[in-house]
């Protein structure tokens, strides 16, 4: 089944209306694909390029809503900025390495982090939902510029 078909089904299942605005934003994330992290400004710019008249405030609202519906996943950066990526059931937990200066974001996998999360959850009697790690640093270019 196509991803968007699944999302649409989910939207109906949750009693949410799939407005053209929300669909456009979801389509954008589906086009760039999983593993891409977009800020609200990125999304806004792309929508303007596609001739959609929409304010940045509306983009923010739409992104938060889609994240609250678990269609997007929100990646909170230490500086208070946020990026969003497509939430996909097929995607295993992955982790992020974020440059604190320019926001460059790389993904990595770690069986050890997943195991540590599973161990901690088991020890304290939690049902595990996800184990995700965000590591801050300076990318090579930013570290060289300091
Ligand atoms: Zn990611
Ligand atoms: Zn950087």
* Ligand nearest, relative to CA of residue 146: 2
Whole-model pTM? 0.67
The DSSP result for 12-24, as a single string, is HHTT----HHHHH
The answer on 104 and 69 residing in a single domain is no
Cα–Cα distance between 50 and 56 in angstroms, integer?
15
The answer on 24 and 2 residing in a single domain is yes
CA 57 to ligand 1 center in whole angstroms: 24
Residue 134 maps to which CATH number?
Answer: 3.30.1490.190
- Number of compact structural domains in the chain: 2
The answer on 4 and 66 residing in a single domain is yes
The range of the structural domain enclosing residue 100 comes to 93-146
What are the mean pLDDT values of the chain's consecutive 10-residue runs (146 residues total)? 47 62 89 85 91 89 90 77 77 82 88 92 90 90 91
CA 43 to ligand 2 center in whole angstroms: 20
| CB contact burial 43-68 (16+ within 10 A = b; e otherwise) | bbebbeeeebebeeebbeebbebbbe
The answer on 111 and 76 residing in a single domain is no
């Amino acid at each position: 089944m196509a991803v968007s078909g699944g999302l649409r089904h989910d939207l109906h299942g949750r009693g949410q209306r799939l407005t053209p605005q929300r669909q456009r934003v979801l389509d954008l994330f589906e086009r760039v694909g999983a593993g891409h992290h977009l800020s609200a400004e990125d999304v806004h710019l792309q929508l303007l390029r596609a001739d959609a008249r929409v304010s940045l405030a509306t983009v923010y609202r739409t992104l938060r809503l889609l994240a609250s519906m678990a269609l997007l996943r929100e990646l909170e950066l230490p500086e208070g900025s946020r990026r969003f990526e497509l939430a996909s059931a097929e995607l295993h937990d992955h982790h992020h390495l974020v440059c604190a200066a320019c926001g460059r974001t790389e993904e990595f996998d770690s069986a050890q982090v997943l195991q540590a999360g599973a161990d901690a959850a088991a020890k304290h009697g939690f049902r595990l939902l996800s184990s995700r790690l965000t590591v801050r640093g300076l990318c090579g270019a930013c570290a060289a510029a300091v």
